[in-house]
Amino acid sequence: MTATVRQRASDTPDPFFATTLARGLAVLDAFRGGESSLSNAELAARTGLARPTVSRLVNTLLTLGYLKRNADGHFRLGVRVLGVAYPLLAGYRVRQLARPMMREFAELAGGAVSIGIADGADLVYMETARSSQSFPHVPEVGFAVPLVTSAIGRAAMSLMGADELKATFAAIEREQPQAYRSGRRNALAGIEACRANGVCVALGEWRPEIFAVAAPLLRTPEGDCLAINCGIPAFRITPEAVREDWAPRMAGLARSIRMMLEREAP
């Protein structure tokens, strides 16, 4: 995801577009996983905004509790950001219903099972269950991966209509040109596999030490595309086992979750 805010070039900009709000959100979006804090200069570089502008935005976000200042003068996200995210996560009932089955699947596979949602050129994780065995990477809620190079991203893309898929590929080519070039062919194959068989695999494409299997999960009435995957350490499993054993199991897990949701529907 990109946090850069560019000057609007249109002669007839949307009169309802709040540029100041967009810039403030870009400051929040500049933070990435694994980073403890950012300086004013780093925020300016990532957003493309002038440093005085960033200073004003940061001061407002500090006052509102969305940012905190460290002793060294750098800034980190404030706890209030979690409060904003909670209503969104709570609205996806699938997370709560799927957790027991996700944990069981993760334990059997010796990996991590996650649900994610398509967001522009990325797939954002919204729930994860991991096995008790060691695992090289466990994606936390909110972690984002490219749609085009991940099995779970391709599974989510398989739920899109033709026009939406075309627009998504265009966004990926514009925002993630390297990933687009390296992943487009396999993404198209993965999308077709999901539509034909309900599942696709990616053998070390996103991270070489992880083999992944993913299935489209559901499309919400609001149009959100959700998918589910399992990442398994490559040293524990062969490509043949991923395709012949765990791929059918993943398709079955997705079906079971959808059936549970249908039973729970009012």
Residues 57-75 have a mean pLDDT of: 95
| DSSP 3-state of 204 | coil
First to last CA, the chain: 36
Residue 266's pLDDT band, with cuts at 50, 70 and 90, is low
The H or E element spanning position 181 is helix 177-197
pLDDT in tens, 219-242: 999 999 999 999 999 999 999 999
pLDDT in tens, 91-134: 899 999 999 999 999 999 999 999 999 999 999 999 999 998 86
- Beta pairing, strands 200-203 & 210-219: antiparallel
- The pair phi, psi for residue 243, each rounded to 5°, is -70, -45
| Nearest-angstrom CA–CA distance, 227 and 217 | 5
| Nearest-angstrom CA–CA distance, 201 and 225 | 18
- The pair phi, psi for residue 19, each rounded to 5°, is -60, -40
Q: Which domains does the chain have, with CATH numbers?
A: 19-81 (1.10.10.10), 91-264 (3.30.450.40)
Instruction: Find the length of the chain.
Output: 266
Task: Identify the residue with better confidence: 146 or 16.
Answer: 146
Residue 17's pLDDT band, with cuts at 50, 70 and 90, is confident
Residue 2's pLDDT band, with cuts at 50, 70 and 90, is very low
Amino acid type, 232? I
pLDDT at residue 75 greater than cutoff 70: yes
Q: What percent of the chain has a predicted confidence (pLDDT) above 90?
A: 79
pLDDT in tens, 176-197: 999 999 999 999 999 999 999 9
| Nearest-angstrom CA–CA distance, 77 and 232 | 31
pLDDT at residue 138 greater than cutoff 80: no
How does the average pLDDT of the chain come out, rounded? Answer: 91
For residue 48, give both structure tokens.
Answer: 């493309």
The H or E element spanning position 230 is strand 225-233
For residue 10, give both structure tokens.
Answer: 């249109």
